[in-house]
Copies of this chain bind each other. A is one copy, B any other.
Amino acid sequence: MEMEGKANGPSEGRTGRVDGPTNPMVTPLLNDLYQFTMAYAYWKAGKHNERSVFDLYFRKNPFGGEYTIFAGLEECIRFIANFKLTEDEISFVRDSLAGSCEDGFFDYLRGIDCSDVEVYAISEGSVVFPKVPLLRVEGPIAVVQLLETPFVNLINYASLVATNAARHRFVAGKSKMLLEFGLRRAQGPDGGIGASKYCYMGGFDSTSNVAAGKLFGIPLRGTHSHAFVSSFMSPDEIIEKSLKSVDGSSTCEDFVSLVQTWLSKIQWSKSLRGIFGETNQSELAAFTSYALAFPNNFLALVDTYDVIRSGIPNFCAVALALNDLGYKAVGIRLDSGDLAYLSCEARKFFHTIEKEFGVPGFEKMSITASNDLNEETLDALNKQGHEVNAFGIGTYLVTCYAQAALGCVFKLVEINNQPRIKLSEDVSKVSIPCKKRCYRLYGKEGYPLVDIMTGENEPSPKVGERILCRHPFNESKRAYVVPKQVEELLKCYWPGTSGKQREELPPLKDIRERCIKQLERMRSDHMRRLNPTPYKVSVSAKLYDFIHFLWLNEAPVGELQ
Measured CB to CB, the residues of A under 8 A from B are 1-3, 5-6, 21-27, 29-38, 40-42, 44-47, 50, 52, 54, 89, 92-93, 95-98, 100-101, 141, 145, 148-150, 152-154, 156-158, 161, 181, 183-194, 208-211, 213-214, 220-228, 230-233, 237-240, 274-280, 282, 289-290, 292-294, 296-297, 304-306, 309-310, 336-337, 395, 399-401, 403-408, 410-412, 415, 418, 420-426, 429, 554-559, 561
Chain B's nearest CB lies how many Å from the CB of A443?
35
- In the complex, A165 Cα to B192 Cα: how many Å? 22
Name the B residues within 8 Å of A238 (CB-CB).
Answer: 45
Name the B residues within 8 Å of A401 (CB-CB).
Answer: 403-405
Choice from B30, B211, B275 contacting A210 with Cβ under 8 Å? B30
Name the B residues within 8 Å of A227 (CB-CB).
Answer: 38, 54, 145, 148, 410-412, 422
- With both beta carbons as reference points, the residue of chain B lying nearest to A291 in the complex is identified as B41
Chain B's nearest CB lies how many Å from the CB of A26?
5
- In the complex, A554 Cα to B306 Cα: how many Å? 10
Name the B residues within 8 Å of A425 (CB-CB).
Answer: 336-337
- In the complex, A275 Cα to B374 Cα: how many Å? 52
**A181-B32 contact given A37-B294, A279-B556, CB 8 Å threshold:** yes
Chain B's nearest CB lies how many Å from the CB of A214?
5
- In the complex, A330 Cα to B445 Cα: how many Å? 60
In the complex, the answer to whether B46 meets A213 with C-beta atoms within 8 Å is no
- In the complex, A261 Cα to B429 Cα: how many Å? 33
Choice from B23, B32, B141, B154 contacting A208 with Cβ under 8 Å? B32
**A-B contact sample (7 more), CB < 8 A, given A3-B97, A187-B404:** A25-B211, A35-B222, A92-B210, A145-B228, A185-B407, A277-B556, A277-B559
Name the B residues within 8 Å of A222 (CB-CB).
Answer: 32-37
Q: Which of A45, A52, A278, A279 has the most CB of B within 10 A?
A: A45
In the complex, the answer to whether A186 meets B157 with C-beta atoms within 8 Å is yes
Chain B's nearest CB lies how many Å from the CB of A296?
6
**A423-B210 contact given A33-B3, A297-B100, CB 8 Å threshold:** no
In the complex, the answer to whether B561 meets A30 with C-beta atoms within 8 Å is no
In the complex, the answer to whether B336 meets A422 with C-beta atoms within 8 Å is no
In the complex, the answer to whether A45 meets B230 with C-beta atoms within 8 Å is no
In the complex, the answer to whether B240 meets A44 with C-beta atoms within 8 Å is yes
- In the complex, A5 Cα to B91 Cα: how many Å? 11
- 10 nearest A-B residue pairs (beta carbon): A33-B222, A34-B222, A399-B404, A187-B187, A41-B293, A152-B184, A227-B412, A44-B293, A404-B404, A32-B208
Name the B residues within 8 Å of A415 (CB-CB).
Answer: 230-231
In the complex, the answer to whether A192 meets B38 with C-beta atoms within 8 Å is no
Name the B residues within 8 Å of A36 (CB-CB).
Answer: 210, 222
**A230-B407 contact given A41-B293, A189-B153, CB 8 Å threshold:** no
- In the complex, A214 Cα to B86 Cα: how many Å? 13
- With both beta carbons as reference points, the residue of chain B lying nearest to A79 in the complex is identified as B189
- In the complex, A161 Cα to B209 Cα: how many Å? 23
**How many copies of the polypeptide does the oligomer hold?**
2
9 contacts between A and B (CB under 8 A): A1-B37, A25-B25, A42-B231, A96-B220, A148-B225, A230-B422, A231-B412, A280-B554, A404-B404
Chain B's nearest CB lies how many Å from the CB of A384?
18
Choice from B27, B188, B337 contacting A187 with Cβ under 8 Å? B188
In the complex, the answer to whether A405 meets B185 with C-beta atoms within 8 Å is yes
Chain B's nearest CB lies how many Å from the CB of A462?
34
Choice from B40, B153, B412 contacting A192 with Cβ under 8 Å? B153
Name the B residues within 8 Å of A278 (CB-CB).
Answer: 556-557
- With both beta carbons as reference points, the residue of chain B lying nearest to A421 in the complex is identified as B230
Chain B's nearest CB lies how many Å from the CB of A206?
9
Chain B's nearest CB lies how many Å from the CB of A117?
15
In the complex, the answer to whether B289 meets A189 with C-beta atoms within 8 Å is no
- In the complex, A96 Cα to B206 Cα: how many Å? 13
Name the B residues within 8 Å of A230 (CB-CB).
Answer: 412, 415, 420-422
- In the complex, A208 Cα to B148 Cα: how many Å? 13
In the complex, the answer to whether A38 meets B153 with C-beta atoms within 8 Å is no
In the complex, the answer to whether B95 meets A190 with C-beta atoms within 8 Å is no
- In the complex, A297 Cα to B44 Cα: how many Å? 15
Choice from B149, B220, B274, B556 contacting A559 with Cβ under 8 Å? B274
In the complex, the answer to whether A191 meets B191 with C-beta atoms within 8 Å is yes
- With both beta carbons as reference points, the residue of chain B lying nearest to A184 in the complex is identified as B152
Name the B residues within 8 Å of A46 (CB-CB).
Answer: 239-240
In the complex, the answer to whether B412 meets A34 with C-beta atoms within 8 Å is no
- In the complex, A144 Cα to B279 Cα: how many Å? 28
Chain B's nearest CB lies how many Å from the CB of A106?
14
- In the complex, A209 Cα to B33 Cα: how many Å? 6
In the complex, the answer to whether A210 meets B305 with C-beta atoms within 8 Å is no
In the complex, the answer to whether A34 meets B208 with C-beta atoms within 8 Å is yes
**A228-B92 contact given A305-B423, A426-B336, CB 8 Å threshold:** no
